[in-house]
Homo-oligomer: A and B are copies of this chain.
Amino acid sequence: MTAGAPVVLDAMGGDHGPAETVAGAVAARRAHGVPVVLVGARDEVGRELRRHGAAREIAVVHAEDTVPMSERGAAAASRPASSLAVGCELVDRGAGGAFVSAGSTGAVVASAVRGIGRSGGVLRPALAVALPTLPGGTSVLVDAGATADPSPAMVAQFALLGAGYARAVLGRADPVVGLLSIGSEPGKGNRLTQRAAELLGALPLRFHGNIEGHDVLAGTVDVIVTDGFTGNVVLKTVEGCVRTALAMVARAGIASPERLAEVACLYDPETHGGAALLGLRGTVVVAHGLSPAATIARACVVAHTLAGRDPAGGIEAAAGERVP
């Protein structure tokens, strides 16, 4: 078994509830050696654990309240007895090494900001998702949906957070950052990206300049930085677009769906195991709401790997010095 503080898993998050999350916790521990603590309704979670014969293997921390998937972020964060709040508190006081939830993104983000807090100097958190690219590499998309209306300074910070992630998780020594915009020439874009580009040019970063939508999967840069609205639309467009293109190939009789599965799974939200929420004083991974047990287990593995690394390191100084 891997050493270190356990991963805290929100047993109540996701569209399938404890049945899938508990199965995911059991798989994370048994198949991947990741220590897990479950947070949620004690009786319900205990019953699921007993079905797997794992009641003595995985601890449960009781949380009386559950945030429904439809709840908005601010409302979710004001429920102190929820599994989200209790889980974040465990991480905040060091009893857990990382927090994983398949709850709604807005609710997890708001609860984590309140319960764990932002790293010094960080204005807003950002979600990072690793996308497979054509040359066989990986680009990080940040923000993939945490902050829908960031200021230009926040977007500039997302670039620093994304570069930190690329260094810590992908092992890129000096990651190249591109700003997602319309038109690659300097000055092209909307007001937000025009101002963000100016700020990015002044940061201690390898700034490539503007990139466009066709660069997202082309491996043009290591880090694709954008606001959380555009990033979330792009992420879901990519997922849907790959599905559609492969379905059209199958429908035209060019290849069978079974043969196409190896490409399909690369962009399936159930494969990548979750998005990392960057900029907090603790590790948080948001899994997809529809995640089945295997995906929950993967999210726990990702969280365990990320725990203790610090993609936000250096933001404080850079933010204080360079970002208005």
Q: Which A residues contact B (CB, under 8 angstroms)?
A: 70, 72, 104, 106, 133-134, 145, 148-149, 180-183, 185, 187-191, 193, 212-218, 226-230, 232-249, 252, 254-255, 259-260, 262-263, 266-267
In the complex formed, the residue of B with least CB distance to A259 is B254
Within the complex, the shortest CB–CB distance from A229 to chain B, in Å, comes to 4
Most buried by B among A104, A183, A187: A183
Quick check: A241 and B235 within 8 Å, CB to CB? no
Hey, which chain B residues are within 8 Å of A263, CB to CB?
Answer: 245, 248-249, 252, 254
User: Once the chains bind, are B249 and A72 in contact (CB under 8 Å)?
Assistant: no
Expressed in whole angstroms, the minimum distance between the Cβ of A182 and any Cβ of chain B is 4
Q: Which of B106, B149, B182, B233 contacts A180 (CB 8 A)?
A: B233
A265 to chain B, nearest CB (A): 11
User: In whole Å, how far is A74's beta carbon from the nearest beta carbon of chain B?
Assistant: 12
27 contacts between A and B (CB under 8 A): A106-B188, A134-B244, A134-B247, A149-B191, A180-B233, A182-B233, A182-B236, A189-B229, A212-B233, A213-B232, A213-B233, A213-B238, A214-B239, A214-B240, A215-B240, A216-B241, A218-B240, A218-B244, A229-B230, A233-B233, A234-B234, A237-B237, A238-B241, A241-B241, A245-B263, A248-B266, A252-B263
**Nearest B residue (CB) for A233:** B213
